Amino acid sequence: MTVQLPILDDRAGQARTSPEHVRISMASAIALRMRSGRFSRDFDFGGINLLLSYDEGCLSDCGYCGLARTRPGAYGDKSFIRVEWPLVRTDDLVARMAEHEATLTRLCISMVTHGHAYRDTCDITRRITAAVRTPLSILVAPPTLSRRRLETFKALGVDMIGIGLDAVTEQLFRSLRTDVPAGGLKWEKYWEVIGDAREIFGPWKVNVHTLVGLGETDRDLVEIFLALRDRQVFSYLFCFNPEPGSRLAARPKSALTRWRRMQLARHLIEAEGYGAERFEFDQAGTLVRLRADRAAVAAVAGQGVAFMTNGCPGGDGQPGCTRPYGSYRPSEPFRDYPFPPAAGDLRDIGAQLRLESLVP
């Protein structure tokens, strides 16, 4: 019988920081039997997400992020993508991952902007790769990195690198991540890390997180999907999900129709080879037409893969990191599916997508 490991209270006065302690997503805690609970639907879940933890928190101040430095509240009370991240001992976690290795599909360490993040990520990576063979990704903090440090990650056994660009235009990036109360992140540095990671880790071993709903246009998104595809870099698509207390807390999510169309556009570009000439926009940059055969597009949409969570693959090439509830609350309609959509899900997707008005 699996013994449930304790979730630690980091507000008890004792410093519990990385590398000796990390946070894990609630879904990961449930999958590893470190927390009781169940998902709203039964499905196989093997993607384990770790988050570095420090008393000072993340030193960046992104306007939409729950971990932003100037977001009110103690760091231990803050959420990340509106999901609870319990604190655990790193060695307990590694032992539990080794115990459940047969069911795991992908591991991921999420860095934060902090002076010790690189050192501690290397430490935690060594502990994991010594005990577990499951493919390991790192969602990196570009301000903490150099080309040499990326090469070290590769030498330590890291399989894939993720970069949270999020804002898909330089203007948006600057307004939300650079020119902010305690900001200073640099657009150029993020693209430098993207380029270096692509050279070091190889084709389709790097992913860039892109967010729908920060103020970008459909044209902006399609252009970055194309640019990343041409570099053989994945675009992992997220839906903006407002964090209470963040500077964008009052900003609404994108309409479901827009979200579904951007999911489909990304998939058509990345998996079906669509080029820029296939997409028609109005003067505001809104996607108004796909130049394609409707039956062919409907067949792709009907497979459901375009609307599943973008995440790093497992060892078998199938989705390995599926981040349940990363873009929506359990009580809300699925934004992305951590499993293949069922027949009823596909009917919902079809109604939301409104393909007949997009592909005349």
Per-residue three-class SS string for the chain: CCCCCCCECCCCCCCCCCCCEEEECHHHHHHCCCCCCCCCCCCCCCEEEEEECCCCCCCCCCCCCCCCCCCCCCHHHCCECCECCCEEEHHHHHHHHHHCHHHCCEEEEECCCCCCHHHHHHHHHHHHHHHCCCCEEEEECHHHCCHHHHHHHHHCCCCEEEEEEECCCHHHHHHHHHCCCCCCCCHHHHHHHHHHHHHHHCCCCEEEEEEECCCCCHHHHHHHHHHHHHCCCEEEEEECCCCCCCCCCCCCCCCHHHHHHHHHHHHHHHHHCCCHHHEEECCCCCEEEECCCHHHHHHHHHHCHHHECCCCECCCCCECCCCCCCCCCCCCCCCCECCCCCHHHHHHHHHHHCHHHHCC
Q: What is the pLDDT of residues 119-157, one digit of tens each?
A: 999 999 999 999 999 999 999 999 999 999 999 999 999
- Distances in whole angstroms, Cα of residue 322 to Cα of each of 106, 238, 318: 9, 12, 11
- pLDDT computed for residue 324 by the predictor: 77
Q: What is the mean pLDDT of residues 64-73?
A: 86
Least confident of 3-7, 111-115, 176-180, 253-257: 3-7
Q: What is the pLDDT of residues 32-49, one digit of tens each?
A: 999 887 766 777 789 999
Q: What is the pLDDT of residues 263-315, one digit of tens each?
A: 999 999 999 999 999 999 999 999 999 999 999 999 999 999 999 999 999 99
- pLDDT computed for residue 14 by the predictor: 59
- pLDDT computed for residue 360 by the predictor: 87
Which pTM does this prediction carry?
0.94
pLDDT beyond 60 at 2:
no
Domain locations along the chain:
21-253
Pairwise CA distance, residues 178 & 188, whole Å: 11
Q: Looking at domain 21-253, what is its CATH homologous superfamily?
A: Aldolase class I (3.20.20.70)
Pairwise CA distance, residues 190 & 194, whole Å: 6
- pLDDT computed for residue 1 by the predictor: 39
Let me know: does 186 contact 158? Beta carbons within 8 Å.
Answer: no
pLDDT beyond 50 at 73:
yes
Burial 118-130 (b: 16+ CB within 10 A, else e): bebbbbbbebbbe
Q: What is the pLDDT of residues 177-189, one digit of tens each?
A: 999 998 889 999 9
Q: What is the mean pLDDT of residues 331-341?
A: 89
Give me the percent of the chain exceeding a pLDDT of 90. Answer: 77
Average confidence score pLDDT of the chain: 92
Place of tokens 């990304």: 266
Confidence of residue 7 (pLDDT cuts 50, 70, 90): low
Confidence of residue 80 (pLDDT cuts 50, 70, 90): low
- pLDDT computed for residue 198 by the predictor: 98
